[in-house]
Amino acid sequence: MSDEVELHFDPEKKHEHHHSRPKRSVVKPIVYGFMSFMLAFVLFLLTVCMVIRLTLFSSDFMIGSMASCGYYSMVKDELKDGLTALGHASGLPDSFCAEFVETIDFRQVEMNYIVSFYSGSSTLVDDTNFKQSFRAAIDKYIEDNNIDKSKTTESSLVNLVDKATDIYIDNVSIPFFSILANYIYKLSGTLNVIMMVLVVIAVIIGLLIYFTNEYKHRRHRYLCYAFITSAITAAIIPTIVYVSGIVAKVNLGTRSIYNLFVTYFSSMFRYFYYFAGIYLFLAIITFVFFRIAYGKTAKHH
């Protein structure tokens, strides 16, 4: 196949007459081609594992996605809508709900929730502060507006606070997080081991290709094949996802979760492009080395 060029420089052919047709080696290119393929395969698997490690299993990535898609402000708007609707059923004016939501800072609560999720501990939203603040705001509202206390009961106010807290938890929590938490925590350790094994295999195959080839240009050529293959394979997956537009068609309940999902997975698939870029860079380097080595060998012969 690609062996025609190298055949001119094969050592065993040095003794042959220059004008006679060189003898073709069939086994070597197949073996090195296979090794090159295996290296590309291992690099692809490593890429998938690393993308998962850097995105799905990373709390920083989740927090970063939240910040970049304006998640917090959207949650605030949805919380305002939810509390306003609750107010329509419980006698609270729209202005009360809007003003109250502005006083809440749930960023830290959200961050703690995410971090504890990834560390395998609680996946529950801490609603203590919200509950206390909401109750305090209602008491102040009753006092400020001289509301007749006979028109309300303690149990109805407790119900109101509980309903509001449910709305808060619904808005701040992320669907299916509590179900996924256990799996992610357990798989995290296994993934590290898998990645290390893949790195070792990739290094071994790379060294085999490098040190068992007599000619430098061949070493670089087979490594170059592997890197180009890895670049193409890594780039195909996100390209299919982007072209199909499947991520944007996800059917989620709220705008904040939808935007978070789209930002999160779009960024995740972008990581495949980053790896494809790295492989392409390595492919270019090995190709340049191949050309230099090829030129030298050709000159030598």
Is residue 103 exposed (0-12), middle (13-18) or buried (19+ Cβ within 10 Å)? exposed
Of 54 and 232, which has the nearer Cβ to other proteins?
Answer: 232
Asked if 26 interacts with other proteins (CB under 8 A), we say: no
Binding to other proteins in span 35-64, by CB under 8 A: 36-37, 40-41, 44
Of 125 and 223, which has the nearer Cβ to other proteins?
Answer: 223
| Number of residues lying near other proteins (CB under 8 A) | 53
> What are the two backbone dihedrals, phi and then psi, of residue 127, each rounded to the nearest 5 degrees?
-105, 5
The number of beta carbons lying within 10 Å of the beta carbon of residue 184 is 16
Binding to other proteins in span 221-240, by CB under 8 A: 224-225, 228-229, 231-233, 236
Q: Site mask, other proteins, residues 129-158, x = CB under 8 A? A: ---------x---x----x---xxx-xxx-
Out of 23, 88, 140, 296, the only residue in the binding site for other proteins (CB under 8 A) is 88
Q: How far apart, in whole angstroms, are the C-alpha atoms of residue 272 and residue 257?
A: 23
What interhelical angle do 94-103 and 128-144 show, nearest 10? 140
Q: Site mask, other proteins, residues 196-225, x = CB under 8 A? A: ----------------------------xx
Of 14 and 149, which has the nearer Cβ to other proteins?
Answer: 149
Residues 6+ apart with CB under 8 A from 27: none
Out of 91, 120, 277, 295, the only residue in the binding site for other proteins (CB under 8 A) is 91
The number of beta carbons lying within 10 Å of the beta carbon of residue 299 is 7
Q: How many CA atoms lie within 13 A of 262 on its CB side?
A: 18
Asked if 72 interacts with other proteins (CB under 8 A), we say: no
Calculate the CA 114 to chain-centre distance. Answer: 15
Q: Site mask, other proteins, residues 251-270, x = CB under 8 A? A: xx-xx--x------------
Q: How far apart, in whole angstroms, are the C-alpha atoms of residue 32 and residue 28?
A: 6
Q: How far is the CB of 133 from other proteins (least distance, A)?
A: 17
Q: How far apart, in whole angstroms, are the C-alpha atoms of residue 226 and residue 201?
A: 14
Q: How far apart, in whole angstroms, are the C-alpha atoms of residue 81 and residue 44?
A: 46
Of 15 and 149, which has the nearer Cβ to other proteins?
Answer: 149
Binding interface with other proteins (CB under 8 A)? 1-2, 4-5, 8, 33, 36-37, 40-41, 44, 81-82, 84-92, 138, 142, 147, 151-153, 155-157, 159-160, 162-163, 224-225, 228-229, 231-233, 236, 246, 248-252, 254-255, 258, 287
